């Protein structure tokens, strides 16, 4: 897996993921809050499985 998630994209994913995940514990208390785990994992792994399908890459790393 080549990294395809860049810096600002990672920050945004972590923030959005944390906000969604917080809804499972405080606020709405809905199971949908657990969806926030997905953007957090993609940010930590620096890989989004949908980006290659869409031809996107926000990672500034040199492509080989």
pLDDT tens digits, 1-17? 899 999 999 999 999 99
Q: What is the pLDDT of residues 50-63, one digit of tens each?
A: 999 999 999 986 76
Nearest CA-CA partner of 9 in 64, 58, 62, 47: 58
Q: Rounded to whole angstroms, what are the CA distances from 27 to 16, 20, 22, 24, 38?
A: 15, 10, 8, 8, 20
pLDDT tens digits, one per residue of 15-33? 999 999 999 998 888 888 9
What residue has token string 């917080």? 22
Give CA–CA dist 3/45, Å, rounded.
8
> What pLDDT sits at residue 29?
87
């Amino acid at each position: 897996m080549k990294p395809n998630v860049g810096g600002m994209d990672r920050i945004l994913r972590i923030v959005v993921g944390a906000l969604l995940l917080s809804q499972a514990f405080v606020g709405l208390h809905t199971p949908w809050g657990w969806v926030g785990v997905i953007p957090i994992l993609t940010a930590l792994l620096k890989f989004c499985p949908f980006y290659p399908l869409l031809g996107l890459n926000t990672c500034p790393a040199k492509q080989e």
